[in-house]
C-alpha cells in the first residue's frame, strides 16, 4: 500500500472521439458509445459511476491517447443512452452482457478495465464473469454494493454533511422516514412524473454535495439538473433496493476468479460516499493488488491527488501491458 499520492500530474489534453455511435441492446435500451485515442492502441474500457451518472468528456483524459484505444459508453438509462433514467430491464447482469456486446462490436479480445465508484462495482462483476477478457483493473472509490455500504449511503453519510442531508430527509414525510430508501422508491417509480423528477433532483443533489473533500457547489448544481438527476436518482435507488443484483458480499467471495490479474486501487482517505473500508477489504482479498490511499481527497475522480494517482496508474499499466 502506498499513501499520499498527491503530486500533481496534469490530465491529458481534451480529445474528441474518432468513432462513436448507438448500439440497440434490446427493445427498450440503446447505448451511446465512443472510441478515442489510438485505433491500434492497447484497449482500455472506461466504466462510469452512479449508476446513472453517465460520461463526461474529461473521462477521456485519464489515458495517453497515443498508447491507448479508449472505449467509453453510457450505461443503460444514463447520459446519451436512451431512454434516460429507465430502470426497466436494467440489472448488473444485463450491463455485463452490454459490455460484451460492445467488446464484440469493437472486435477486441481483451481490455484493461477502469472504473470508479459504481464503475468499480461493475468492473469487478464483469471481470468475475469474464476474467479471460480482462488484462487488469484500475479501480477508484471502491463500492462493493454490500448492505452495509448501502445503509451508510442512506443513513451515515449525513453525519459528515448534515446540511446537505437535511433537504434529503425533509422531502420525506415524518411517518415515512424510518425507511428512506423505500420512501424515495415510492416517489421515484410512481406514476406522478413531476414527483419522480423532484425526488430524483433531491437525491442526486445530495450525493453531488458530498463528493469532495473541499466544497464544490457547482458540482452539486450540476447533479441537480434534470439530465443528471434522472439517471442518478432513479438508477441508484433502483440498484440499491435490489442490492446491486448481487448476492451479499459476492464480489469479495468471488475474488478468486480475478485475483491472478494486476490491479491498482485508488481511494480517497476522506471518501464519505464510498468509505475506504471497502477498498481495504478488496485489497486484502487481492494479494497482487496495489492500494493507493490519497490523503487529501474525498470521493471525486478529479480531486487533484486522485486524478494524479489515476494518471500514474494508467502510466504504470503501459509498462505492464506492453509486450
pLDDT in tens, 164-215: 999 999 999 999 999 999 999 999 999 999 999 999 999 999 999 999 999 8
Q: Which region among 160-174, 223-237, 279-293 has the lowest average model confidence (pLDDT)?
A: 223-237
What residue has cell string 454533511? 161
Distance CA 170, CA 49 (A): 26
pTM over 0.85: yes
Q: Return the pLDDT at 34.
A: 98
pLDDT bin (cut points 50, 70, 90) of residue 5 is very low
Verify that 195 and 263 share a domain, yes or no. no
Q: Return the pLDDT at 225.
A: 83
Q: Return the pLDDT at 323.
A: 64
CATH number at residue 276: 3.40.50.1820
What is the number of helices (H) and of strands (E) in the chain? Answer: 11, 9
Closest Cα partner for 229 from 60, 79, 83, 120?
Answer: 79
**pLDDT of residue 56 exceeding 80:** yes
Q: Return the pLDDT at 6.
A: 43
Domain boundary among 193, 224, 244: 244
**pLDDT of residue 149 exceeding 80:** yes
Q: Return the pLDDT at 7.
A: 45
Question: What range defines the domain where residue 176 resides?
Answer: 147-244
Verify that 139 and 161 share a domain, yes or no. no
Verify that 303 and 240 share a domain, yes or no. no
Give percent of the chain above pLDDT 70.
97
Q: Return the pLDDT at 15.
A: 97
Verify that 255 and 176 share a domain, yes or no. no
Verify that 221 and 268 share a domain, yes or no. no
Active site amino acids:
117, 271, 299
Verify that 126 and 196 share a domain, yes or no. no
> Domain total for the chain?
2
- Across the chain, mean pLDDT equals 94
Domain boundary among 179, 210, 244: 244
> How much is the average pLDDT of 58-77?
97
Domain boundary among 200, 222, 244: 244
> How much is the average pLDDT of 43-56?
96
Which residues sit opposite 43 in a β-bridge? 69
Q: How many CB atoms lie within 10 A of CB 166?
A: 12
Distance CA 50, CA 322 (A): 32
Distance CA 286, CA 166 (A): 38
Verify that 136 and 265 share a domain, yes or no. yes
Verify that 137 and 261 share a domain, yes or no. yes
Amino acid at each position: 500500500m502506498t499513501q499520499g499520492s498527491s503530486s500533481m500530474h496534469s490530465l491529458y489534453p481534451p480529445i474528441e472521439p474518432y468513432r462513436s455511435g448507438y448500439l440497440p441492446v434490446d427493445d427498450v435500451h440503446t447505448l451511446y458509445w465512443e472510441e478515442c485515442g489510438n485505433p491500434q492502441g492497447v484497449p482500455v474500457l472506461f466504466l462510469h459511476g452512479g449508476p446513472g451518472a453517465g460520461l463526461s468528456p474529461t473521462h477521456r483524459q485519464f489515458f495517453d491517447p497515443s498508447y491507448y484505444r479508449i472505449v467509453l459508453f453510457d450505461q443503460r438509462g444514463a447520459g446519451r443512452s436512451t431512454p434516460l433514467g429507465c430502470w426497466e430491464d436494467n440489472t448488473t447482469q444485463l450491463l455485463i452482457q452490454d459490455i460484451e456486446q460492445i467488446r464484440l462490436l469493437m472486435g477486441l479480445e481483451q481490455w484493461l478495465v477502469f472504473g470508479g465508484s459504481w464503475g468499480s462495482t461493475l468492473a469487478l462483476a464483469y471481470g468475475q464473469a469474464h476474467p479471460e477478457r480482462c488484462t487488469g483493473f484500475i479501480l477508484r472509490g471502491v463500492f462493493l454494493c454490500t448492505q452495509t455500504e448501502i445503509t451508510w449511503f442512506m443513513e451515515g453519510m449525513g453525519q459528515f454533511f448534515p446540511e446537505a442531508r437535511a433537504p434529503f430527509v425533509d422531502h420525506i414525510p415524518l411517518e415515512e422516514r424510518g425507511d428512506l430508501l423505500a420512501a424515495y422508491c415510492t416517489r421515484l417509480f410512481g406514476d406522478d412524473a413531476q414527483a419522480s423528477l423532484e425526488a430524483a433532483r433531491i437525491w442526486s443533489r445530495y450525493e453531488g454535495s458530498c463528493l469532495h473533500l473541499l466544497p464544490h457547489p457547482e458540482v452539486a448544481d450540476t447533479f441537480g439538473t434534470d439530465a443528471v438527476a434522472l439517471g442518478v436518482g432513479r438508477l441508484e435507488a433502483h440498484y440499491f433496493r435490489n442490492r446491486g443484483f448481487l448476492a451479499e458480499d459476492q464480489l469479495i467471495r468471488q475474488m478468486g476468479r480475478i485475483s491472478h490479474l494486476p490491479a491498482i486501487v485508488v481511494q480517497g482517505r476522506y471518501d464519505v460516499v464510498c468509505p475506504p473500508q471497502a477498498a481495504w477489504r478488496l485489497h486484502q482479498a487481492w494479494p497482487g493488488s496495489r492500494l493507493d490511499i490519497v490523503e487529501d481527497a474525498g470521493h471525486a475522480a478529479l480531486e487533484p491527488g486522485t486524478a494524479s494517482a489515476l494518471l500514474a496508474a494508467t502510466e504504470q499499466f503501459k509498462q505492464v501491458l506492453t509486450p
